[in-house]
Amino acid sequence: MSQSAGASERTIGQLVADASRDLSALVRAEIALAKAEITTEVKQGAIGAGLFIGAAVFGGIGALFVLLAIAWLLTLWMPYWVAFLIVAVVLLVIAAVLALIGKGRISKVGKPERTIATSKQSIEALKGHH
Protein backbone atom coordinates (compact mmCIF):
# COMPACT_ATOMS: atom_id res chain seq x y z
CA MET A 1 0.00 0.00 0.00
CA SER A 2 2.82 2.37 0.72
CA GLN A 3 4.19 1.80 -2.77
CA SER A 4 0.97 2.87 -4.50
CA ALA A 5 0.66 5.90 -2.21
CA GLY A 6 4.27 6.85 -2.99
CA ALA A 7 3.72 6.43 -6.72
CA SER A 8 0.72 8.77 -6.76
CA GLU A 9 2.52 11.47 -4.74
CA ARG A 10 4.89 13.74 -6.54
CA THR A 11 8.36 14.51 -5.31
CA ILE A 12 9.40 17.92 -4.03
CA GLY A 13 11.57 18.34 -7.12
CA GLN A 14 8.56 17.71 -9.35
CA LEU A 15 6.46 20.15 -7.36
CA VAL A 16 9.17 22.83 -7.57
CA ALA A 17 9.56 22.22 -11.32
CA ASP A 18 5.79 22.48 -11.81
CA ALA A 19 5.60 25.64 -9.71
CA SER A 20 8.51 27.14 -11.62
CA ARG A 21 6.87 26.29 -14.96
CA ASP A 22 3.54 27.72 -13.82
CA LEU A 23 5.20 30.87 -12.51
CA SER A 24 7.10 31.28 -15.77
CA ALA A 25 3.88 30.84 -17.77
CA LEU A 26 2.13 33.37 -15.53
CA VAL A 27 4.92 35.92 -15.97
CA ARG A 28 4.88 35.43 -19.76
CA ALA A 29 1.10 35.89 -19.80
CA GLU A 30 1.37 39.07 -17.71
CA ILE A 31 4.07 40.43 -20.02
CA ALA A 32 1.92 39.66 -23.07
CA LEU A 33 -1.04 41.42 -21.45
CA ALA A 34 1.10 44.44 -20.57
CA LYS A 35 2.42 44.60 -24.15
CA ALA A 36 -1.13 44.46 -25.52
CA GLU A 37 -2.30 47.21 -23.18
CA ILE A 38 0.72 49.41 -23.88
CA THR A 39 0.32 48.94 -27.63
CA THR A 40 -3.30 50.03 -27.39
CA GLU A 41 -2.42 53.01 -25.22
CA VAL A 42 0.42 54.07 -27.53
CA LYS A 43 -1.90 53.90 -30.53
CA GLN A 44 -4.48 56.03 -28.75
CA GLY A 45 -1.77 58.51 -27.72
CA ALA A 46 -0.48 58.72 -31.30
CA ILE A 47 -3.99 59.36 -32.61
CA GLY A 48 -4.49 62.04 -29.97
CA ALA A 49 -1.16 63.67 -30.83
CA GLY A 50 -2.07 63.64 -34.52
CA LEU A 51 -5.37 65.31 -33.75
CA PHE A 52 -3.62 67.98 -31.67
CA ILE A 53 -1.19 68.62 -34.53
CA GLY A 54 -4.12 68.95 -36.93
CA ALA A 55 -5.84 71.33 -34.52
CA ALA A 56 -2.65 73.42 -34.25
CA VAL A 57 -2.28 73.63 -38.04
CA PHE A 58 -5.89 74.63 -38.61
CA GLY A 59 -5.79 76.97 -35.62
CA GLY A 60 -2.69 78.66 -37.01
CA ILE A 61 -4.30 79.07 -40.42
CA GLY A 62 -7.44 80.42 -38.75
CA ALA A 63 -5.38 82.90 -36.74
CA LEU A 64 -3.70 84.04 -39.95
CA PHE A 65 -7.07 84.70 -41.54
CA VAL A 66 -8.24 86.63 -38.48
CA LEU A 67 -5.11 88.78 -38.65
CA LEU A 68 -5.68 89.41 -42.35
CA ALA A 69 -9.29 90.34 -41.63
CA ILE A 70 -8.15 92.79 -38.94
CA ALA A 71 -5.63 94.35 -41.33
CA TRP A 72 -8.25 94.69 -44.07
CA LEU A 73 -10.67 96.17 -41.56
CA LEU A 74 -8.08 98.80 -40.68
CA THR A 75 -7.82 99.68 -44.38
CA LEU A 76 -11.21 101.34 -44.06
CA TRP A 77 -9.48 104.15 -42.13
CA MET A 78 -5.90 104.07 -43.45
CA PRO A 79 -3.78 102.96 -46.40
CA TYR A 80 -3.20 99.24 -46.87
CA TRP A 81 0.48 99.33 -46.06
CA VAL A 82 -0.13 101.15 -42.75
CA ALA A 83 -2.85 98.69 -41.70
CA PHE A 84 -0.70 95.66 -42.43
CA LEU A 85 2.32 97.30 -40.81
CA ILE A 86 0.31 97.89 -37.62
CA VAL A 87 -0.74 94.23 -37.48
CA ALA A 88 2.86 93.12 -38.12
CA VAL A 89 4.25 95.40 -35.39
CA VAL A 90 1.67 94.14 -32.88
CA LEU A 91 2.64 90.55 -33.73
CA LEU A 92 6.36 91.35 -33.35
CA VAL A 93 5.75 93.03 -29.97
CA ILE A 94 3.83 89.98 -28.75
CA ALA A 95 6.64 87.73 -29.98
CA ALA A 96 9.26 89.86 -28.20
CA VAL A 97 7.31 89.84 -24.91
CA LEU A 98 6.88 86.06 -25.09
CA ALA A 99 10.60 85.64 -25.88
CA LEU A 100 11.61 87.78 -22.90
CA ILE A 101 9.29 85.89 -20.56
CA GLY A 102 10.64 82.59 -21.91
CA LYS A 103 14.24 83.75 -21.48
CA GLY A 104 13.51 84.75 -17.90
CA ARG A 105 11.99 81.37 -17.13
CA ILE A 106 14.90 79.52 -18.72
CA SER A 107 17.47 81.57 -16.81
CA LYS A 108 15.80 80.48 -13.56
CA VAL A 109 16.40 76.81 -14.35
CA GLY A 110 19.24 75.62 -12.17
CA LYS A 111 21.79 72.90 -12.55
CA PRO A 112 21.10 69.56 -10.86
CA GLU A 113 23.53 70.33 -8.03
CA ARG A 114 22.94 67.16 -5.99
CA THR A 115 23.36 64.93 -9.02
CA ILE A 116 26.58 66.69 -9.98
CA ALA A 117 27.91 66.40 -6.41
CA THR A 118 27.09 62.71 -6.06
CA SER A 119 28.53 62.01 -9.51
CA LYS A 120 31.79 63.70 -8.50
CA GLN A 121 31.84 61.72 -5.26
CA SER A 122 31.27 58.49 -7.16
CA ILE A 123 34.11 59.28 -9.56
CA GLU A 124 36.42 60.08 -6.66
CA ALA A 125 35.43 56.87 -4.88
CA LEU A 126 36.13 54.86 -8.04
CA LYS A 127 39.53 56.51 -8.38
CA GLY A 128 40.31 55.57 -4.77
CA HIS A 129 40.35 59.08 -3.34
CA HIS A 130 38.12 59.93 -0.41
pLDDT at 74: 94
Same domain, 65 and 95: no
Both 68 and 23 in a single domain? Answer: yes
State how far the Cα of 86 lies from the Cα of 76, in Å rounded to an integer: 14
- The C-alpha atoms of residue 130 and residue 55 are separated, in whole angstroms, by 57
**Model pLDDT, residue 8:** 63
Q: Are residues 105 and 63 in the same domain?
A: no
CA-to-CA distance for 115 and 77, rounded, in angstroms? Answer: 61
Other C-beta atoms within 10 Å of 87: how many?
17
Q: Which residues contact 67 (CB under 8 A, 6 or more apart)?
A: 87, 91
Co-location of 92 and 67 in the same domain: no
- Give percent of the chain with pLDDT exceeding 70: 91
Per residue in 9-60, pLDDT (tens digit) is 878 888 888 888 888 888 888 888 888 888 888 888 889 999 999 999 999 9
**Whole-model pTM above 0.75?**
no
Q: Which residue has the higher pLDDT, 26 or 73?
A: 73
pLDDT at 95 (0 to 100): 93
Number of domains in the chain: 2
Tell me how far apart the alpha carbons of residues 57 and 125 are, in angstroms, rounded to a whole number.
Answer: 53
Q: Tell me how far apart the alpha carbons of residues 49 and 38 are, in angstroms, rounded to a whole number.
A: 16
- Out of 54, 74, 94, a domain closes at 74
64 and 94 part of one domain: no
> Which DSSP symbol is given to 78?
S
Q: Is 111 helix (H, G, I), strand (E, B) or coil?
A: coil
Contacts (Cβ under 8 Å, ≥6 apart) of 78: 86
Q: Which of 28, 43, 74 is the last residue of a domain?
A: 74
Q: Are residues 55 and 85 in the same domain?
A: no
For residue 67, what are the domain limits? Answer: 1-74
User: Does residue 63 share a domain with residue 87?
Assistant: no
